[in-house]
């Protein structure tokens, strides 16, 4: 997640932890999702293919996660990403996001 988006969300009182903040840059995608789950956080990523696959694998294995928001990289401005993330946050509770993937494109 880019610094500008992090700042934009934090200015709107959204708690944001980046992979860099958590020391997870060199960890696998599954480890990053496990960290997000352990901290009851929704994971936001541009890595659509890998996280769709991981979501499916976890569902088949009966593993749960706190939710994933997927976006295509360089498709939306920082402001548009923030607006759509805030919309998702306003509509879907943490409980509603559990084991769910949401595509940023569906929240226009």
> What pLDDT shows up at residue 1?
63
- Helices 48-61 and 29-38: angle between axes, nearest 10 degrees: 60
> Which sequence spans correspond to the domains of the chain?
3-106
- Which three-class secondary structure state does DSSP give residue 80? helix
- Which three-class secondary structure state does DSSP give residue 86? helix
The structure's pTM equals 0.93
- 103: Cα separation from own chain's centroid: 10
Per-residue pLDDT of the chain (108 residues; tens, 9 = 90+): 678 999 999 999 999 999 999 999 999 999 999 999 999 999 999 999 999 999 999 999 999 999 999 999 888 999 999 999 999 999 999 999 999 999 999 998
β-bridge mates for residue 69, sequence order = 44, 102
């Amino acid at each position: 997640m880019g610094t500008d988006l992090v700042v934009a969300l934090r200015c709107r009182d959204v708690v944001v932890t980046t992979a860099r903040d958590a020391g997870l840059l060199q960890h696998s995608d599954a480890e990053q999702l496990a960290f997000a789950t352990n901290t009851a956080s929704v994971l936001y990523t541009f890595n659509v293919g890998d996280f769709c696959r991981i979501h499916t694998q976890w569902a088949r294995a009966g593993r749960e996660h706190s939710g994933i928001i997927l976006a295509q990289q360089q498709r939306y401005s920082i402001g548009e990403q923030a607006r759509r993330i805030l919309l998702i946050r306003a509509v879907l509770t943490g409980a509603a996001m559990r084991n769910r993937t949401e595509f940023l494109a569906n929240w226009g």
